Structure formats: structure tokens, C-alpha cells
A and B are shown apart, each in its own frame.
Chain A
Amino acid sequence: MTLILRRPLRSFVLSLAILAALAVLRTAGSAQAPTRIISLVPALTEILFAIGAGSQVVAVSSYDDYPPEVLGLPRVGALLDPNTERILALRPDLVLTYGSQDALQAQLARAGISVFDYRHGGLADITREMRRLGAAAGRTADAERVATGLEQRLDAVRSRTRGRARPRTLLVMGREPGTLRNLNASGGVGFLHDVLELAGATNLFADVPRQAVTVSNEMLLSRAPEVIIDLRYGNAQTPDRDAWTAVSSIPAVKQGRVYDLHGDQFVVPGPRIADAAEAMARAIHPEAFP
């Protein structure tokens, strides 16, 4: 009796084990991990190279210039002008798109090509997207390791600035060169706002629930920031400091606390964001980085 019962049970368990082993083999096999990835989002390109999936990338967007390895890769347009024909001709098995590229996404779906859908978010979204992309690119463990490392570096910045006075800081994302006209600053939403607050500042425009605020001279003077971080990126090479002298009553200007930070790491929500956070924290709290 027991023997009769046991025999089917044993074969059932055995067949389960075989199925499981087959499943493991299937996922471990390269059939599932994409080998021809096209990235239309520079932040995602940086993440792919950071998690060791750089060799799987076959083409990037026209805005990509980091890491240097991408400079030799084919370009397939960008956010507003993706070149669908070139994308399809490169026979990708995964295309990383921005959330608003729905026409492209539909075309890729019709062609049976997998799409990774992405939108910029807050600081916490960077490592979340990194893990999600790692899973999609077959690099789950690497993505986990890099994301954890990034989170540790960000935590280190946070704990260094914790408990210190939080100066009211204006984060300038752009302005007309040579003047303070059309000055664009970070509002209370987005990863730049998050990085600024993590670096131990109070965002001057935290109360404006938008990513970007256009700041007039009057708003600038009446809000009187204690620190100004003047970001430059892209091809803006030379510091442009003279314009601030017109608003000398602003504490940041009076006390020489206008910091000129230069580099794309400040505006790309990717793995270099820890560099950006450390640089900002150094500017805002030089005393915390002896």
C-alpha cells in the first residue's frame, strides 16, 4: 500500500526536479539575456556600462557621450527624432526608450522587439531603475552590487551633512550667458532637488512643486539664498560669475558662496550621481570635508 502510494509521489517529485533544472538551464542560457541592446536614454547607457553590460550595447542616442566607450558606437537619433529604420536595421533584442516615445514603442512592439520603458524620476528611482534594467539585461547580480554601492555612497554623504545647518540654496540649472536673464532653477521635484537636499541644503524653491522654476531678479533678491550653486554642463566651459555682482545684497553673493560646478554628472540621473552629490555637499558644507 505504502509502496503503491510512494511510487507515483517519487516520480512526481523527480519530474518536478527535472522541470526545475530545465527552467534554471533555460534562464541561465543566453537565450533570455539580450545581447543587442540599443539605448536612447543617456542615463540608461551609463547604467548599462556601470553594471558591466556595456558589451551588449550596439547603438546609443545622439546625445550619448559617456562613458568614452560609447563614442565609437552607431547613433540612432534621440528622444524626439529616433531613427526607427536604423534601429530596426541593427536587429536589437532590447531597446531602452523614454516614456514619451510611444510611437516608437508601438513600432518596436509590432516588430516583436522588447522595450524597456523609462522616465526620469527622483533620486531613489535611479537605483530602482538600475536594478530593473539589470534584470532586463541579464545582469541582476551586477546591478544589485552597483546599486548597493551607489546607495552606500549617497548614505555616506547624507550622514556627513546630517545635523548641520541647512543653508537655503539656489540650484541654477541654466541662464542666459553673461546675465541673470531666463534663470532656471530646480524646484521641489526631481532628482536634482533630492540631491541638493541630500547634500545638506534646503532648496530655495522647495515650495514650488515643479522640476524647474524660472527665477526673476525680484524673486532672487527677495528669497535671498545663502548659497548659490551655478551648474554648467554640455559645452559651457568658462565660468560666468560677473553677472552675480548686480545682486550683491544676496547673502550668497556677499559672502562669496556662489559655487561654479561643472560637468554632466550633475544633470544625468545615472551612476555618476554620487559624484554630483559629493561635489554639492563639499560646496555646501566645506567644514564636513576637511
Chain B
Amino acid sequence: MRGRVAATVAGFGGLLLVVCLVAPLVGSTPISLARAFDRSIPYADNVDAQIFFVARLPRVVAGALVGAALATAGAVLQALFRNPLAAPETLGVSAGAALGAILAITFASEARFGPLAPVPLASLVGALSAMTVVYLLARSTRRPLSTSVLLLAGVALNAFISAMILFVQYLADFTQTYRAVRWLIGDLDVGAMGPIVASLPVLLSAALLILWLPSALNLLSVDADAAAARGVHVIRVQRMAFVGASLATAAAVSLSGPVAFVGIIVPHLVRLVVGVDHRVVLPAAALFGATFLVLCDLVARTLLNPVELPVGIVTAILGGPFFLWLLVRKR
């Protein structure tokens, strides 16, 4: 087993490494790497260096982190709910982030909280608030949660938050509405390492929680009672899975906006290749999610040169047909 995990990590990790090395070298403008790393040119005057360190590197790093977080969250939630349609959006965390972002865009665009821009901060707060609501709902019972109850709670919360978003949009003016729609597409052009660093604490806590889960998820994804009989503390695992996936989603969405498709499809893509064992699926989903999103962003910023597309458009346009092809080929 350990060998399979190692082989998977090596394979997918190698792929990610190659993609992450190539991605910053490609873009809408040709740059000279020698010039970008030439210390004799002051950084303030070095266009190539600024394109590399401001425009490209943060985009690749953000893409890798967001892709990994969303794909892992999707894989965890699909196991938790025993439902192939579960995704990071399912529990309303994404919608909470969107509500936060849109409130900031509409009412608080002048606000400043130290170095943090208002929109990512508000979306993180929105995501964590939505997570808290679902968690409190989930905690209100001592028994293991019925997955259908959690799913329905997610559906209800999603609907409620969506209505709030529409209400805020209704009060907003045109430019605010336009900016909100742009934010909802999802985009990785973060422009600096600052926003990425700011999202790391949440992302790392998510990773720590999810690292405990794979074996228990294997049992849980078959049947909760059987898992309990095999010594799994079902309530605790459910809560850890839920909180871990929610934190990962919150960090990702506050960094990039709700990038579509990665969270629901990458886990399935990975399962088609490596099988269903979560000890393999989770690392593979994280690594391939990262690879997939970095690749999509590479396409997004080069395809329509001189203009660029937001990555959220590219993920589903590229990923949809690819997944259908894989699905048909496997049968």
C-alpha cells in the first residue's frame, strides 16, 4: 500500500513539478529569464523580473494551492456524503464567500484593514461564517449525522445565501454588479505573494485535519454503521472531514473566487486512474487538482492573446469534454 501511495505521489507530483516549472516561463509576452534574474538591474526598473515575480509566479502558486484545495475538498465531501455530486460548493461555504465578497464590493470598497484588501478578507469571513452555521446545525445532534440531513442543510443554506446575494446585487449599481460577476467567475491574477501568504494559515489547518482522514473515509464512504463497527469514531471523523473540507474551500475561494469544476470533477478524474482508496485518492486529487488548475490558467492567459480569460471559464470548457472522453473510454 505504502508503495502505491509513493508511486502515486511520485507520478502526480512529477507532473505537477513539470507544469509548475514550465508555467511561469510561458505567457502572453516573451520574457528573458536571464534578464529577470539579473541582479545588476534594479528590480524597480526590471520589466522581465516584474512580469516573472508579479504577474506569473504568484499566479502559478495561487493556481496550485487553489486547485489542490478545491480538489481535495471535493474528494473528502464526496466520500463523506457518499455522493458523486458533492463538491466544495455543496455545503454553502462557497456561497458564504461570495456573499462576503459581494457585500465588500458593494458597501465597503473604501474599507482598509492593514495590508489586506477588503474583498478577499470579506470572502474569507463569509466562508467561515457559513461553515460555522452548518457546523452548529450539525452539532445540534449527538448521533452521527445523516448525510442527507447535512446535504439538505447545505442546499437550504445555499438557497438562502444565493437570495441574499441577489438582494445585494439588486441594491448595487452597474459597476459594482459588473465587478461582482467578474469575481464570481474566479481568477488567479493575485498580483503578489501577500494574498497567498494570508491564505496559508487556513489552508494549513485544513491540510492538518484532512491528513487524519484517509483510512476512516474509506470505511465511511461504504457505510457509517460498518465504519463504527470497525472502530471509527464516526461523529469525530465526520466533523473533521466537514471542517477540513470547508476550511480548504474557504481559503481557496477567498484567494481566487469560486473557480468552477475543479472541486467536483478532479476527484472523479483521479479515481478513474488510481481507484477508490482514499489513501491514494486524496494526495492524487491534491496534486492533480493543482496541475489541472495551473494548466487551465496557462491556457487562460495565452489563448486569446492580447486579452486574457479568467481561469474559471477555462476549467469547465477544457475539463468537461476531457472528463466525458475519459468516462466513455473507461466503460
Tell me the A residues contacting B by CB distance below 8 Å. Answer: 63, 79, 81, 173-174, 176-182, 184, 207-208, 213-214, 216-222, 224, 233-238, 246-249, 254
Chain A residue, CB-CB nearest to B308? A216
Residues of A near B4 (CB, < 8 A) are none
Contact A177 B308 (CB under 8 A): no
- Give bound CA distance, A213 to B54, whole Å: 20
Chain B residue, CB-CB nearest to A177? B109
Contact A222 B175 (CB under 8 A): no
**Of B92-100, B185-193, B220-228, B245-253, the one with at least 4 CB within 8 A of chain A:** B185-193
Contact A213 B190 (CB under 8 A): no
> 18 more A-B contacts (CB under 8 A) besides A217-B51, A220-B55?
A63-B174, A174-B178, A179-B191, A182-B187, A214-B308, A216-B308, A218-B29, A218-B51, A218-B56, A218-B189, A218-B308, A221-B47, A224-B47, A233-B175, A246-B54, A246-B191, A249-B45, A254-B45
Contact A207 B306 (CB under 8 A): yes
> A247 contacts which of B27, B54, B118, B190 (Cβ < 8 Å)?
B54
Q: For the side of the interface on B, what is the size category?
A: 35 or more
Contact B306 A234 (CB under 8 A): no
> B110 contacts which of A179, A213, A221, A238 (Cβ < 8 Å)?
A238
Contact B54 A221 (CB under 8 A): yes
Q: Knowing A246-B192, A247-B54 touch, does A208 contact B307 (C-beta < 8 A)?
A: yes
Q: Knowing A208-B306, A236-B110, A237-B110 touch, does A217 contact B187 (C-beta < 8 A)?
A: no
The 8 A CB mask of B277-319 against A (1 = contact, 0 = none) is 0000000000000000000000001000011101000000000
B114 to nearest A CB, angstroms? 10
Instruction: Report 10 cross-chain contacts, Cβ distance below 8 Å, ordered by A residue.
Output: A178-B116, A179-B195, A181-B189, A214-B308, A218-B301, A221-B54, A222-B51, A246-B54, A248-B44, A254-B44
Contact A179 B117 (CB under 8 A): yes
- Give bound CA distance, A237 to B175, whole Å: 15
A220 to nearest B CB, angstroms? 8
Is B112's CB within 8 Å of the partner chain A?
yes
Chain A residue, CB-CB nearest to B109? A177
Contact A178 B51 (CB under 8 A): no
> B189 contacts which of A184, A216, A236 (Cβ < 8 Å)?
A216
Contact A249 B178 (CB under 8 A): no
Contact A222 B191 (CB under 8 A): no
Residues of A near B118 (CB, < 8 A) are 177-178
Contact A217 B54 (CB under 8 A): yes
User: Closest 6 CB pairs between A and B?
Assistant: A218-B55, A222-B29, A178-B117, A217-B55, A177-B109, A248-B44
